[in-house]
Amino acid sequence: MRSLREEFAALVRDGTLGRGALEIARIAYPDLQPEGHLADLARLAEAVRPAIDARMPPEDIALAVGDHLFRTCGFHGNTEDYYDPRNSFLNDVL
């Protein structure tokens, strides 16, 4: 397994936002393997893709993605402990 420093260097070169968020999560979860979580993100993206048109304004795209995540997938905020650090780690949120 590559070190966190090596992962960040690769991320700067050719990374994605999802991978970057998971690399940050490795600070709290050093043994985190991002591949499964990246696959989860890819499945979410595929599921919402039919509701999005590239000509849509960014605000409408954000609304469509939010609607899918909250209504269809059941994502919700942590209303009991807003400041729980796990709310910021993509692997925990997924």
Neighbouring CB atoms inside 10 A of 25's CB total 20
Residue 33 falls within a domain, yes or no? yes
Q: How many domains does the chain have?
A: 1
pLDDT at 1 over 70: no
Burial of 22 (0-12, 13-18, 19+ CB in 10 A): buried
Give the whole-angstrom CA distance, residue 91 versus residue 32.
8
- pTM, whole model, 2 decimals? 0.76
The answer to whether 37 and 94 are in contact (CB under 8 A) is yes
Residue 84 falls within a domain, yes or no? no
Residue 52 falls within a domain, yes or no? yes
Give the whole-angstrom CA distance, residue 13 versus residue 45.
23
Enclosing domain of residue 43: 4-76+89-93
Residue 24 falls within a domain, yes or no? yes
Model pLDDT for residues 7-59, shown as the tens digit of each residue: 777 777 777 889 889 988 999 999 999 999 999 999 999 999 999 998 999 99
